[in-house]
Protein backbone atom coordinates (compact mmCIF):
# COMPACT_ATOMS: atom_id res chain seq x y z
CA UNK A 1 0.00 0.00 0.00
CA UNK A 2 1.17 3.52 -0.75
CA UNK A 3 2.43 5.34 2.33
CA UNK A 4 0.82 8.58 3.36
CA UNK A 5 2.79 11.68 4.20
CA UNK A 6 2.21 10.99 7.88
CA UNK A 7 3.57 7.47 7.55
CA UNK A 8 6.64 8.42 5.55
CA UNK A 9 9.58 7.83 7.87
CA UNK A 10 11.81 10.13 5.81
CA UNK A 11 9.66 13.09 6.86
CA UNK A 12 10.73 12.48 10.43
CA UNK A 13 14.25 13.58 9.48
CA UNK A 14 12.89 17.02 8.72
CA UNK A 15 13.56 18.51 12.15
CA UNK A 16 12.85 22.08 13.19
CA UNK A 17 16.55 22.89 12.87
CA UNK A 18 16.59 21.47 9.35
CA UNK A 19 13.60 23.65 8.50
CA UNK A 20 15.39 26.70 9.88
CA UNK A 21 18.61 25.84 8.06
CA UNK A 22 16.95 25.37 4.69
CA UNK A 23 14.90 28.55 5.07
CA UNK A 24 18.00 30.51 6.07
CA UNK A 25 19.99 29.01 3.18
CA UNK A 26 17.30 29.99 0.66
CA UNK A 27 17.09 33.53 2.04
CA UNK A 28 20.89 33.99 2.02
CA UNK A 29 21.28 32.60 -1.49
CA UNK A 30 18.56 34.84 -2.85
CA UNK A 31 20.04 37.88 -1.09
CA UNK A 32 23.49 37.22 -2.57
CA UNK A 33 22.09 36.62 -6.05
CA UNK A 34 19.95 39.76 -5.82
CA UNK A 35 22.98 41.83 -4.81
CA UNK A 36 24.95 40.42 -7.76
CA UNK A 37 22.10 41.17 -10.18
CA UNK A 38 21.73 44.72 -8.91
CA UNK A 39 25.51 45.24 -9.05
CA UNK A 40 25.94 44.08 -12.64
CA UNK A 41 22.59 45.31 -13.98
CA UNK A 42 22.60 48.25 -16.38
CA UNK A 43 19.23 49.98 -16.87
CA UNK A 44 19.04 51.61 -20.29
CA UNK A 45 15.56 52.93 -21.08
CA UNK A 46 13.86 55.74 -19.12
CA UNK A 47 11.46 53.20 -17.62
CA UNK A 48 14.30 50.94 -16.52
CA UNK A 49 16.20 53.88 -15.04
CA UNK A 50 13.10 55.03 -13.17
CA UNK A 51 12.62 51.54 -11.72
CA UNK A 52 16.33 51.12 -11.04
CA UNK A 53 16.36 47.73 -12.73
CA UNK A 54 16.45 46.61 -16.34
CA UNK A 55 13.87 44.25 -17.81
CA UNK A 56 16.53 41.55 -18.05
CA UNK A 57 17.51 42.24 -14.44
CA UNK A 58 13.90 41.86 -13.36
CA UNK A 59 13.69 38.44 -15.02
CA UNK A 60 17.08 37.52 -13.56
CA UNK A 61 15.60 38.25 -10.14
CA UNK A 62 12.78 35.78 -10.78
CA UNK A 63 15.33 33.21 -11.89
CA UNK A 64 17.34 33.90 -8.73
CA UNK A 65 14.32 33.09 -6.55
CA UNK A 66 13.95 29.69 -8.18
CA UNK A 67 17.68 28.95 -8.06
CA UNK A 68 17.82 29.89 -4.37
CA UNK A 69 14.96 27.53 -3.50
CA UNK A 70 16.25 24.58 -5.54
CA UNK A 71 19.84 25.06 -4.35
CA UNK A 72 18.82 25.54 -0.71
CA UNK A 73 16.65 22.42 -0.73
CA UNK A 74 19.33 20.36 -2.44
CA UNK A 75 22.21 21.59 -0.29
CA UNK A 76 20.53 21.27 3.11
CA UNK A 77 18.01 18.47 2.75
CA UNK A 78 19.24 16.28 -0.11
CA UNK A 79 23.02 16.58 0.13
CA UNK A 80 23.43 17.21 3.88
CA UNK A 81 20.41 15.46 5.42
CA UNK A 82 20.39 12.60 2.91
CA UNK A 83 16.78 12.99 1.80
CA UNK A 84 15.61 12.36 -1.75
CA UNK A 85 13.34 14.52 -3.92
CA UNK A 86 10.75 11.81 -3.46
CA UNK A 87 11.02 12.30 0.30
CA UNK A 88 10.16 15.97 -0.28
CA UNK A 89 7.01 15.13 -2.21
CA UNK A 90 8.05 14.48 -5.82
CA UNK A 91 6.38 11.08 -5.81
CA UNK A 92 4.16 9.66 -8.59
CA UNK A 93 0.49 10.53 -8.23
CA UNK A 94 -2.38 8.17 -8.93
CA UNK A 95 -4.24 8.96 -12.14
CA UNK A 96 -7.44 9.84 -10.32
CA UNK A 97 -5.71 12.76 -8.61
CA UNK A 98 -4.59 14.22 -11.91
CA UNK A 99 -8.22 14.08 -13.06
CA UNK A 100 -9.33 15.63 -9.76
CA UNK A 101 -6.80 18.42 -10.29
CA UNK A 102 -8.33 19.18 -13.69
CA UNK A 103 -11.78 19.47 -12.12
CA UNK A 104 -10.42 21.74 -9.38
CA UNK A 105 -8.75 23.97 -11.99
CA UNK A 106 -12.06 24.39 -13.83
CA UNK A 107 -13.91 25.15 -10.59
CA UNK A 108 -11.24 27.40 -9.10
CA UNK A 109 -11.09 29.97 -11.88
CA UNK A 110 -14.67 31.26 -11.51
CA UNK A 111 -14.31 31.06 -7.72
CA UNK A 112 -11.14 33.17 -7.66
CA UNK A 113 -12.65 35.58 -10.21
CA UNK A 114 -15.66 36.11 -7.92
CA UNK A 115 -13.33 36.59 -4.95
CA UNK A 116 -11.27 39.14 -6.89
CA UNK A 117 -14.40 41.09 -7.86
CA UNK A 118 -15.52 41.16 -4.22
CA UNK A 119 -12.10 42.30 -3.01
CA UNK A 120 -11.94 45.01 -5.68
CA UNK A 121 -15.36 46.26 -4.57
CA UNK A 122 -14.67 46.34 -0.83
CA UNK A 123 -11.00 47.38 -0.93
CA UNK A 124 -11.38 49.81 -3.87
CA UNK A 125 -8.47 48.69 -6.05
CA UNK A 126 -7.89 46.99 -9.41
CA UNK A 127 -6.37 43.52 -9.64
CA UNK A 128 -5.32 44.25 -13.21
CA UNK A 129 -3.50 47.45 -12.26
CA UNK A 130 -1.78 45.67 -9.38
CA UNK A 131 -0.71 42.78 -11.63
CA UNK A 132 0.64 45.21 -14.22
CA UNK A 133 2.59 47.06 -11.54
CA UNK A 134 4.15 43.86 -10.17
CA UNK A 135 4.63 41.66 -13.23
CA UNK A 136 4.65 44.01 -16.22
CA UNK A 137 6.19 47.31 -15.08
CA UNK A 138 8.00 47.61 -18.44
CA UNK A 139 4.86 47.21 -20.51
CA UNK A 140 4.42 44.55 -23.17
CA UNK A 141 7.42 42.74 -24.60
CA UNK A 142 7.95 39.19 -25.79
CA UNK A 143 10.94 38.96 -23.45
CA UNK A 144 8.84 39.66 -20.36
CA UNK A 145 5.91 37.56 -21.57
CA UNK A 146 7.98 34.47 -22.38
CA UNK A 147 10.25 34.96 -19.36
CA UNK A 148 7.34 35.12 -16.92
CA UNK A 149 5.65 32.07 -18.43
CA UNK A 150 8.85 30.03 -18.07
CA UNK A 151 10.15 31.43 -14.76
CA UNK A 152 6.86 32.23 -13.02
CA UNK A 153 4.58 29.76 -14.73
CA UNK A 154 6.74 26.63 -14.88
CA UNK A 155 9.79 26.86 -12.60
CA UNK A 156 8.25 28.82 -9.70
CA UNK A 157 5.36 26.37 -9.11
CA UNK A 158 7.81 23.47 -8.80
CA UNK A 159 10.13 25.40 -6.46
CA UNK A 160 7.31 26.83 -4.34
CA UNK A 161 5.44 23.53 -4.01
CA UNK A 162 8.64 21.80 -2.92
CA UNK A 163 9.24 24.35 -0.17
CA UNK A 164 5.77 25.44 0.97
CA UNK A 165 3.97 22.10 0.67
CA UNK A 166 6.72 19.48 0.61
CA UNK A 167 8.86 20.99 3.36
CA UNK A 168 6.90 23.58 5.34
CA UNK A 169 3.51 21.87 5.30
CA UNK A 170 5.18 18.46 5.60
CA UNK A 171 6.87 19.58 8.81
CA UNK A 172 3.74 21.29 10.21
CA UNK A 173 1.39 18.37 9.63
CA UNK A 174 3.86 16.00 11.31
CA UNK A 175 4.10 18.15 14.45
CA UNK A 176 0.56 19.58 14.62
CA UNK A 177 -2.29 18.29 12.46
CA UNK A 178 -3.15 18.32 8.75
CA UNK A 179 -5.84 20.99 9.19
CA UNK A 180 -3.67 23.32 11.24
CA UNK A 181 -0.74 22.67 8.91
CA UNK A 182 -2.85 23.58 5.86
CA UNK A 183 -4.02 26.84 7.43
CA UNK A 184 -0.62 27.86 8.82
CA UNK A 185 1.38 27.02 5.68
CA UNK A 186 -1.21 28.78 3.49
CA UNK A 187 -1.01 31.87 5.71
CA UNK A 188 2.78 31.99 5.34
CA UNK A 189 2.48 31.34 1.60
CA UNK A 190 0.08 34.29 1.29
CA UNK A 191 2.15 36.62 3.47
CA UNK A 192 5.37 36.25 1.45
CA UNK A 193 3.59 37.74 -1.58
CA UNK A 194 3.66 41.08 0.33
CA UNK A 195 0.47 42.48 -1.24
CA UNK A 196 -2.38 42.56 1.33
CA UNK A 197 -5.01 42.87 -1.42
CA UNK A 198 -4.18 39.47 -2.92
CA UNK A 199 -3.52 37.59 0.31
CA UNK A 200 -7.09 36.21 0.76
CA UNK A 201 -7.02 34.66 -2.73
CA UNK A 202 -3.50 33.26 -2.29
CA UNK A 203 -4.43 31.89 1.15
CA UNK A 204 -7.38 30.03 -0.39
CA UNK A 205 -5.18 28.60 -3.14
CA UNK A 206 -2.54 27.64 -0.54
CA UNK A 207 -5.09 25.65 1.46
CA UNK A 208 -6.24 23.82 -1.68
CA UNK A 209 -2.65 23.03 -2.68
CA UNK A 210 -1.87 21.63 0.77
CA UNK A 211 -5.10 19.60 0.70
CA UNK A 212 -4.13 18.13 -2.67
CA UNK A 213 -0.74 17.12 -1.29
CA UNK A 214 -2.30 15.65 1.84
CA UNK A 215 -4.80 13.53 -0.06
CA UNK A 216 -2.68 12.48 -3.06
CA UNK A 217 0.65 12.05 -1.21
CA UNK A 218 2.30 13.74 -4.19
CA UNK A 219 3.27 17.29 -5.11
CA UNK A 220 2.53 16.76 -8.80
CA UNK A 221 -1.23 17.53 -8.65
CA UNK A 222 -0.50 20.77 -6.78
CA UNK A 223 2.30 21.65 -9.19
CA UNK A 224 -0.07 21.22 -12.15
CA UNK A 225 -2.72 23.39 -10.46
CA UNK A 226 -0.14 26.03 -9.55
CA UNK A 227 1.27 26.03 -13.11
CA UNK A 228 -2.17 26.33 -14.68
CA UNK A 229 -3.14 29.30 -12.54
CA UNK A 230 0.15 31.14 -13.04
CA UNK A 231 0.44 30.52 -16.79
CA UNK A 232 -3.14 31.52 -17.52
CA UNK A 233 -2.75 34.64 -15.36
CA UNK A 234 0.39 35.69 -17.25
CA UNK A 235 -1.16 34.92 -20.65
CA UNK A 236 -4.23 36.99 -19.75
CA UNK A 237 -2.07 39.84 -18.44
CA UNK A 238 0.15 40.13 -21.51
CA UNK A 239 -2.71 39.51 -23.93
CA UNK A 240 -4.56 42.46 -22.41
CA UNK A 241 -1.39 44.56 -22.68
CA UNK A 242 -0.86 43.61 -26.33
CA UNK A 243 -4.49 44.37 -27.13
CA UNK A 244 -4.31 47.73 -25.41
CA UNK A 245 -1.18 48.60 -27.38
CA UNK A 246 -2.88 47.75 -30.63
pLDDT in tens, 183-216: 999 999 999 988 889 999 999 999 999 999 999 9
- Determine the Cα–Cα distance for residues 203 and 188; give it in Å rounded to an integer: 8
Q: How large is the C-alpha radius of gyration of the chain?
A: 19
Above 50 in pLDDT, residue 1?
no
Mean pLDDT of the chain: 92
pTM: 0.93
Above 60 in pLDDT, residue 7?
no
Above 60 in pLDDT, residue 4?
no
Mean pLDDT across 225-233: 96
Q: Which residues of 102-115 are buried (b: 16+ CB within 10 A; e: fewer)?
A: eebeeebeeebeeb
pLDDT in tens, 77-94: 999 999 999 999 999 999
Query: When comparing pLDDT for 123 and 218, which is higher?
Result: 218
Above 60 in pLDDT, residue 11?
no
- Give the per-residue pLDDT at 220: 97
pLDDT band at 5 (very low <50, low <70, confident <90, very high): very low
Above 80 in pLDDT, residue 2?
no
- Determine the Cα–Cα distance for residues 222 and 218; give it in Å rounded to an integer: 8
Percent with pLDDT over 70 in the chain: 94
Query: When comparing pLDDT for 143 and 9, which is higher?
Result: 143
- Give the per-residue pLDDT at 223: 98
Above 50 in pLDDT, residue 226?
yes
Above 70 in pLDDT, residue 246?
no
pLDDT in tens, 28-77: 999 999 999 999 999 999 999 999 999 999 999 999 999 999 999 999 99
Measure the CA angle with vertex 176, ends 174 and 181; round to 5°. Answer: 85
Q: Cα dist. 119→32, 105, 115, 193, 229 in Å?
A: 36, 21, 6, 16, 18
pLDDT in tens, 141-173: 999 999 999 999 999 999 999 999 999 999 999
Amino acid sequence: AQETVAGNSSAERLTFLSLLYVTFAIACLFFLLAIAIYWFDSPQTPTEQALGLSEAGFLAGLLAQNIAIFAGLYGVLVWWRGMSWGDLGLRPAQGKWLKTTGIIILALFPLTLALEMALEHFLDFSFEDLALQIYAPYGFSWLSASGLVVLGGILAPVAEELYFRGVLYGWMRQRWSPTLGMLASAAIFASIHLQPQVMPEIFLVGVILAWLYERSDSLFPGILLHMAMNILAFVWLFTSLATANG
